[in-house]
Amino acid sequence: MKRLAILSLTKAVVSMSMGQVANQNYWSYSVMVGGSSMLGDLVGGPSESTIFIKDIDLKATRPAVGISASYHMHRFSLSPKFTYARLAGNDAFSEYTSREVRNLSVRTDIAELNLVSEFRPFRLHILL
């Protein structure tokens, strides 16, 4: 019974969310939350830097956020998007002695604003 209730609720939410597609022109909004990390000279791996995925410093990972609004027309969309992230690196987080002695740190804020256009030459039909 519980499974049927969850399935019914899911179907209702999906059906309501697809209602906006019936209108030719509509808006959609999105919010992005994630993390940002730097892969450079100030890395957190346990050995000498190889500038590879194992050198990512999880202690220096910082938040990244973004917002966007999209205006959808028949086969075309236009979306202004804003993203903010902070990159950080610190030798104090390293497990390698020569990096700790070097004692370097960096912090860079990134703010990105862009305008994205999208053209969809084919229509996608979703059957529920």
Q: What is the span of the domain harbouring residue 37? A: 23-119
Tell me the per-residue pLDDT of 38-86, one tens digit each, with 9 for 90 and over.
Answer: 877 776 655 565 667 777 777 888 999 999 999 988 889 999 999 999 9
- With respect to residue 128, please indicate whether it lies within any of the assigned structural domains: no
Bigger pLDDT: 17 or 113?
113
pTM over cut 0.95: no
Does 127 map to a domain?
no
50 within a domain of the structure (yes/no): yes
Q: Which pLDDT value is given to residue 15? A: 57
9 in any annotated domain:
no
How many domains are contained in the chain? 1
Looking at the domain assignment, is residue 13 inside a domain? no
User: Is 94 within a domain?
Assistant: yes
Tell whether 1 is covered by a domain: no
Q: Report long-range pairs for 115-122 (Cβ below 8 Å, ≥24 apart).
A: 115/78, 115/79, 115/80, 115/81, 116/78, 116/79, 116/80, 116/81, 117/76, 117/77, 117/78, 117/79, 118/76, 118/77, 118/78, 118/79, 119/75, 119/76, 120/75, 120/76, 120/77, 121/75
Judge whether 8 lies within some domain.
no
